[in-house]
Amino acid sequence: MCSIYLINVGVNASHESKARSPIFNDNLSFVYVSIPDHAGTPYPPEMRPFVRDPDKLPTHSDPDWDNLTYGDDCLNPRASALINVTRGDILLFWGLLWQNNRQNNGNNWHGRGFTGERGWYLLGALRVEDIVERKQDINNLPAANCCRALKNAHSLNPLWHPGDRVFVGEINPSHSRLFEHAVDLGGCRCGGLIYSGAFTAADHTPFTHGNGRCWLCGLRTCRKMWDLNDAEQRGRAEIVRNAIRNVNRDFDLLEDAHCDPKCR
């Protein structure tokens, strides 16, 4: 185990007129909604209530939480850091969620209950068990992982780009899963998790509230956020581990995440 990578996923502000991922006020439960994609597959039933026209709007369903895989084009500058991911690394996902009142049937966003408030949250994680670099290599995976990898959006696409990677997560709910409860990054308030010292900019400077530096801009691209072989960085990762466990008590981001001497 060497590193944790931070990845922004799901519908974002540019999609707000088409689709939104809701978070419910009662207990921080939420529904992950993947991005629209004209060449994608139909939105699954759980996402359709939060998509404006799901019969006409397909999606790029990634991460695939049912099969615990994630794909990306590592030649795209946004995802270039992921080309360094190795087996045992952790992919930690975050995204935009919109406040939703399930009791609200008023005249807002087609009556779907959105209040207009939004925030950014940690959504889930995958502990990487296998990595597919070429489509033909999928058949070399263990049978169960092969079946899961074949269902990833990048595998379903007839075109496999040179930078495409599919990361297959461990089938262990303690290591890989969509969280039951979102973890608030607190980007709009002093004392939020994003300002706890755990998260840093590319120059390794922690984000601080009110200093004019935009943490959102600093995290839009995929980042290797913590090297768990570095004591200081592991300490920062433990802050995030504890925040996740506060609301998802049966998930431990660092469980069995032992330092690997080969990574030193």
Residue 141 contacts by C-beta under 8 Å, 6 or more apart in sequence?
130, 132, 149, 168
pTM over cut 0.85: yes
Ranges 122-136, 150-164, 249-263, most confident: 122-136
Taking only the tens place, the pLDDT of each residue in 6-40 is 999 999 999 999 999 999 976 789 999 999 998 88
pLDDT at 262 over 70: no
The Cα–Cα gap between 24 and 31 comes to 9
The average pLDDT across 89-100 equals 96
pLDDT at 41 over 70: yes
CA distances from 257 to 87, 175, 227 (A): 12, 10, 11
